[in-house]
Amino acid sequence: MFQIFITILILMLSQTPDSPAERPDFVLVIHGGAGTIKKELMTPELEAEYRAGLQAALDAGKAVLEAGGSAEDAVEAAILPLEDNPLFNAGKGAVFTHEKTVELDASFMSGKTGEAGAISGVKTVKHPIRAARKVMEESVHVMLTGTGAEAFAQVQGLEMVENSYFYTERREKQLDRILAREAEAHETELDDPNEPVRKKHGTVGAVALDKYGNLAAGTSTGGMTNKRYGRVGDSPIIGAGTYADNATCAVSCTGHGEYYIRNVVAFDVSARMKYQGSSLQTASDQIIHEVLKEQGGTGGLIAVDKDGHIAMPFNTSGMFRGYVKSTGEQNIGIYQ
């Protein structure tokens, strides 16, 4: 009897009419990775640089949406400055692999068309997010990898660079310290204690809702410091790191990629909304704070739903994040 009552209640709640009038004209949410962010090692200057980087991304995406541009264009516009910023682990500033090269992954999905594109393991594409979008728009495929993906990007006229373009002294020192500790500890993938941002799942991403009600999501990353064996994380995996569906939401993840792949995190947010009638916040929180946390899977995600609600849960001590709405509301956050 009690169950029937609850069910009726759920039915009534789920029948609450949508309020499109309340939907903001546009919404943009971005992230620059989640991890253990050590305040004691974070100088005010460095924090200001991170904030400025996030602000630049928000501004770029907002300009597109304000001008009536598409969610896809806004996602790309927001991610480009993050890829160009050496502070974030994507594009310029990407972390080093075990072999001291840089290998980049990215993915893109349109909630309007259900089309998607992804590239993995590319070493010479200056803006991986652009390549992922090109795969979506200009190829019959969804995922291209390695030198094949690079050849495709070149055919598409994207800007190509030497792998050394991605080199930064900071990332090299980071790898060197990790390799030195690895040699001592006989363990792989140790963390770097001298970084203010530790155990960082360095990834950047953006999700957007445009004035036409269309959603889009994109994610770009350099992957894991000291990664080897051609390791691919969740960022280029549609369903794991990135997902968008106009019927539900757009999601971009940042976390310990293996957990995100196994739990198909980005799609699961959408599935819980679609099949269970969960709100975006509930669906996102359950995955980040319950499913992943129980498994030891650290990270977070950003999401926007079709009605303009946003969610930015993370189970680490910090996540570089920000959002802006057409209402003028905006915020940038780093810590809990």
| Distance in angstroms between the alpha carbons of the first and the last residue of the chain | 41
Compute the distance between CA of residue 307 and CA of residue 330 in angstroms, rounded to an integer. 17
**Site map (CB under 8 A) of a second copy, residues 85-124, x = contact:** ------------------------x----xxx---xx---
Query: CA torsion sign, 165 to 104 to 179 to 301?
Result: positive
Q: Which of 36, 145, 168, 282 binds a second copy (CB under 8 A)?
A: 145
CB closer to a second copy out of 17 and 328: 17
Name the minimum Å distance from CB 271 to a second copy. Answer: 4
- Residues between 229 and 258 with contacts to a second copy, criterion CB under 8 A: 229-233, 237-240, 243, 257-258
CB closer to a second copy out of 127 and 256: 256
CB closer to a second copy out of 9 and 52: 9
- Residues between 293 and 312 with contacts to a second copy, criterion CB under 8 A: 295
Token output for 205? 């991403």
Residue 329 one-letter amino acid: E
Compute the distance between CA of residue 304 and CA of residue 122 in angstroms, rounded to an integer. 29
Active-site positions read 203
Spell out the long-range contacts of 157-163 with Cβ–Cβ below 8 A and sequence spacing 24 or more: 158/125, 158/126, 158/127, 158/130, 158/131, 158/134, 159/125, 159/126, 159/127, 160/124, 160/125, 160/126, 161/124, 161/125, 161/126, 162/124, 163/101, 163/102, 163/123, 163/124
The residues that bridge with 117 in the sheet, in sequence order, are: 108
Q: Which of 13, 140, 183, 185 binds a second copy (CB under 8 A)?
A: 140
Under rule CB under 8 A, residue 67 binds a second copy: no
| All residues at 6 or more sequence positions from 73 whose CB lies less than 8 Å from its CB, including other chains | 64
Compute the distance between CA of residue 89 and CA of residue 203 in angstroms, rounded to an integer. 6
Name the minimum Å distance from CB 145 to a second copy. Answer: 4
Q: Which of 71, 143, 249, 253 binds a second copy (CB under 8 A)?
A: 143
Q: Which stretch binds a second copy (CB under 8 A): 73-81, 141-149, 213-221, 322-330?
A: 141-149
- Whether the Cβ atoms of residue 97 and residue 103 lie closer than 8 Å to each other: yes
Under rule CB under 8 A, residue 280 binds a second copy: no
Name the minimum Å distance from CB 205 to a second copy. Answer: 18
Q: Which of 72, 76, 195, 268 binds a second copy (CB under 8 A)?
A: 268
Under rule CB under 8 A, residue 146 binds a second copy: yes
CA atoms within 13 Å, Cβ hemisphere of 200: 31
| All residues at 6 or more sequence positions from 304 whose CB lies less than 8 Å from its CB, including other chains | 27, 28, 29, 207, 208, 209, 215, 249, 250, 280, 310
Compute the distance between CA of residue 170 and CA of residue 263 in angstroms, rounded to an integer. 32
Name the minimum Å distance from CB 32 to a second copy. Answer: 23
Q: Which of 92, 200, 201, 272 binds a second copy (CB under 8 A)?
A: 272
Name the minimum Å distance from CB 150 to a second copy. Answer: 8
- Chain contacts with a second copy (rule: CB under 8 A): 3-4, 7-8, 11, 109, 114-116, 120-121, 139-149, 151-152, 188-189, 228-233, 237-240, 243, 257-258, 261-264, 267-268, 271-272, 275-276, 295
